[in-house]
Structure 1
């Protein structure tokens, strides 16, 4: 993993996506620094439940206006500090600098687009947020979550979810990417059983590597109407599946119009 975005990754999570997506790092201390800032506590919840883990609506499906939100409306719909106890929400530094990885397997392209911080089909508006558990400040495993809120017209939000769901199944054995920094490998993709949210959701883990060490990246995508929220956490400390706090996902989903 070359830390193309190391400084940014030290304070935010999403462009650790771009960092993980690059080739082997030449600086182990760089990896350790990111571990202290961007890791999440392992949950150990990595066994998929075919009935609950697939992209599906919760038992009580929320209604939606279906409106395609502008950037200002997405910002209003995003979580703010104080809405979930102990969590501080800030605009993500460098959020407009998305990754540039390209999948060598077209079936896995939707997963790489999410890794780049730019889910496909392309959004008409995007808002990035970093959410940190302030009660864990100073800990190596402080919970840091990245949120990406995107608006998609003409049914493309449903298309995005369908593409990711299909790619999770098609790319279980991993995939490779290329970029200006060289090729990269992801060794495994597996669906996770996390609490459902919104009108449709899917959660999965992609396993990357840093100097040969496994780095689990967990994503959950939640759709309500024409809005999709991508949540992301990583664990740079050990190979255990990091925890994505369910209360954050539920609170954010509840704010979507």
Structure 2
């Protein structure tokens, strides 16, 4: 039995419309101030309101053909992290150098400290031959915070200090900015990888801002050197592609999922 390669494509969508972010409290009493107090009831109510609006624009079954949509398991909690926007961010000091933290935040369902609320969905292909899984996370921002998030992310992708960085026990390598797509008010794209034993986890992230909506698309796959070698031998021998397991190409974001999420966000803005 072939060892195979688990190919995972993850899309992370961050943000919401200005209307949604504008209805979600004033950022006070969120537990980040002096004393680290709990959020006030009014702040919690505001977060719940924004979360409800995020739920309406999150992808659902039927929005993308050939994909099953589910609420991401464990997306509400992340142990050992700071609480913010209804989700958890990496604790201070875990990402080193610290300026690389924006890169790490885009790789998980954790909410950056300036976001106000979040929802997360996982899309699984209905075609058993397709091993790609997609995760979609939406987080609400205020306009200024959305713009700042893009600025800090862009700076991190270009920083030589972030060509290699650590997030806890994981070391990311090969961080490189990539050509960004045309669309929205601005966009940032980058790729990176991390080792997991003999395997190489590879990610490509594209982040687009439209107003106060920040949309980050993350695609990932796992490279298995042994399976890739077997596939190369199989290809040379004329073995049909469906019988090969290795993943040799860099991950790519699925256009159908991106288009569906952008269309749903645009529809919400038009109402």
TM-score (norm 2): 0.63
1:194 CA displacement:
5.5
The residue number in structure 1 matching 2:220 is 234
Aligned equivalent of 2:95? 103
| CA distance in structure 2 between the aligned counterparts of 1:193 and 1:132, rounded to whole angstroms | 27
Q: Does 1:66 align with 2:18?
A: yes
Are 1:196 and 1:202, in contact at CA under 8 Å, matched by a contact in 2? no
Q: Distance in 1 between matches of 2:78 and 2:208?
A: 20
Partner of 2:163 in structure 1? 173
**What does the per-residue CA deviation read over 1:54-92, in whole Å, with 9 as the maximum and x for residues that have no partner?**
xxxxxxxxxx96223411111111122222221222211
The equivalent position to 1:157 in structure 2, one of 125, 139, 146, is: 146
1:23-51: CA deviation from partner (whole Å, max 9, x where unpaired): xxxxxxxxx79x53x5249xxxxxxxxxx
Supply the RMSD in Å over aligned alpha carbons.
2.7
1:145 and 2:134 correspond: yes
Provide closer, same or farther for how the CA distance between residues 96 and 154 of structure 1 changes in structure 2, counting only shifts above 3 A: same
Distance verdict in 2 for CA 1:193–1:131, change over 3 Å: farther
- Note the residue ranges of structure 1 that are not aligned, 5 or more in a row: 1-31, 42-63
Q: Show the counterpart of 2:227.
A: none
| Structure 1 stretches of at least 4 aligned residues deviating more than 6 Å after TM superposition | none
**Measured at CA, do residues 65 and 142 of structure 1 come closer, stay the same or move farther in structure 2, by a change above 3 Å?**
closer
SS at structure 1 position matched to 2:222: coil
Quickly say closer, same or farther: Cα 1:88–1:200, change in 2 above 3 A: farther
CA distance in 2, matches of 1:232, 1:124: 21
- What residue in structure 2 maps to residue 243 of structure 1? 252
Distance change >3 Å, CA 91–CA 252, structure 1 → 2: same
CA distance in 2, matches of 1:198, 1:252: 13
Question: 5 Å matches for 1:1-257?
Answer: 35-36=5-6, 39-40=8-9, 66-69=18-21, 70-98=50-78, 100=81, 101=90, 102-135=94-127, 137=128, 139=129, 142-170=131-159, 171=161, 173-178=163-168, 183-193=169-179, 195-237=181-223, 238=247, 240-256=249-265, 257=269
Looking at structure 2, the residues matched to 242 and 154 of structure 1 have their Cα atoms a distance apart, in angstroms, of: 30
Larger radius of gyration: 2
Q: Following TM superposition, by how much is the alpha carbon of 1:185 offset from its aligned partner in structure 2, in angstroms?
A: 1.2
Closer, same or farther: CA 155–202 of 1 in aligned 2, 3 Å: same
Which residue in the other structure is 2:43 paired with?
none
Residues in 1 aligned to 2:9 and 2:104: alpha-carbon distance in whole angstroms = 21
2:8 and 2:222 in contact (8 A); partners too: yes
Q: Size of the alignment, in residue pairs? A: 195
Q: Unaligned 5+ residue runs, structure 2?
A: 11-15, 22-49, 82-89, 224-246
Shift of 1:119: 4.3
- 1:67 alignment partner, SS class: helix
